[in-house]
Amino acid sequence: MSVTAETVRQLRERTGAGMMECKRALVETGGDLDAAAELMRKQGLAKADKKAARVAAEGVIVVEKSADGHAAAMVEVNCETDFVAREQDFRGFAADVARAALAARTSSLEALLAATLPSGESVDERRRALIAKIGENISVRRVVFVQGQGPLGAYVHGTRIGSLVALEAGDAELARDLAMHVAASNPKYLSAAQVPADEVAKEREILTEQAKADPKNQGKPDNILAQIVEGKVRKALSEITLHGQPFVRDDKVTVEKLLAGAKARVASFERFEVGAGIEKRQDDFVAEVMAQVKGAAGGKH
């Protein structure tokens, strides 16, 4: 039996495994779909992939910096429970992933998963082996590589929030302070000029409606109302931009003024937070048990 793209697709749907694992299993079994699925179960790959549907919203953020301090990689590696997130095998794997990302100098998740570890395994092969050993879904969720000519600040708060800030000019202390600020204040954009026009327009629309509905603004001329709205728009933009935010170590100074005083400029910044954007499943065990009790009671006559 030959290995076709269609049999690879069928095996992927059946096991949830990666394309290369499916292709290897099919080659080894001469294209026999059932035998390939059985082989993957024996190898622990199918066991790992059956867990892929589980929500992996716990985990760690790891940052690895280059020896010269001008480059760094940051990764988010997820698992299902905070218990596993504290486990040494998981932590060791996450650290290896960050080192692999720095060595590969990549922000591509696909490239990172294919990167080779010192053991000779790929990152994804090690991930699957760890799933089979620990029994939880584990995923490498995202990676970013940052390089700059100036100082590069890196900060990890505990294990759940990480940030990188690349500066042009300035010094290492300023770069680290700004990385701490980014971790704490979570700016979405560098400056108001970088906020997409449609987002600004939507914010202005919402604030205009709020201003019109405010009893304190009843009877005010349209031009005054417009000035009030624009003031609120500027405030809203300052809250989501790094330049506009009050500096966490001195809230009387904005980050923009801090940078101007140091004659420095932020080239780029990144922030990861464990599980951000992942919808956690909340199982209401009490409700589940009560439903079962009621069902059992309803069945008795």
Let me know if residue 95 belongs to a domain: yes
Residue 282 binned pLDDT confidence (cut-offs 50, 70, 90)? very low
pLDDT at res. 186: 94
Region 262-275 average pLDDT: 95
Q: Is residue 86 part of a domain?
A: yes
Share of the chain above pLDDT 90, in %: 57
User: What are the tens digits of pLDDT across the range 16-75?
Assistant: 677 788 888 899 988 888 888 878 776 666 544 555 556 668 999 999 999 988 999 999
Torsion angle in degrees (nearest 10) through CA of 11, 12, 13, 16? 120
Q: How many domains does the chain have?
A: 3
Q: Are 72 and 84 in contact (CB under 8 A)?
A: no
Where is 138: in which H helix or E strand? none
Whether this prediction's pTM lies above 0.75 is answered by no
- The Cα 275–Cα 82 span in angstroms is 12
Decide if 155 is inside a domain.
no
Same domain, 59 and 105: yes
Same domain, 44 and 58: no
- Residues 211 and 236 placed together within one structural domain of the fold: yes
Strand spans (E) along the chain: 58-65, 71-79, 139-147, 152-157, 161-168, 246-247, 250-254, 265-273
Type of residue numbered 51: K
Instruction: List phi, psi (to 5°) of 98.
Output: -65, -40
Residues 200-233 have pLDDT tens digits of 998 898 888 888 888 888 888 889 998 999 999 9
Domain extent at residue 25:
5-52
Report the pLDDT value the prediction gives residue 297, as an integer from 0 to 100. Answer: 53
pLDDT, one tens digit per residue, over 80-98 is: 898 999 999 999 999 999 9
Q: Per-residue pLDDT tens for 251-261?
A: 999 999 999 99
The pLDDT score that the predictor gives to residue 217 is 84
Q: Within a domain: residue 266? A: no
What was the pLDDT predicted at 283?
43
The backbone torsions φ and ψ at residue 150, rounded to the nearest 5 degrees and listed phi first, read -100, -165
Q: Residue 175: left if φ>0, alpha if ψ -120 to 50, beta else—which one? A: alpha
Residue 87 carries which DSSP code?
-
Can you tell me the distance from the alpha carbon of 266 to that of 203, in angstroms, rounded to the nearest whole number?
A: 26
The whole-number pLDDT of residue 89 equals 94
Q: What is the pLDDT of residue 137?
A: 86
- Residue 178 falls inside a structural domain: no
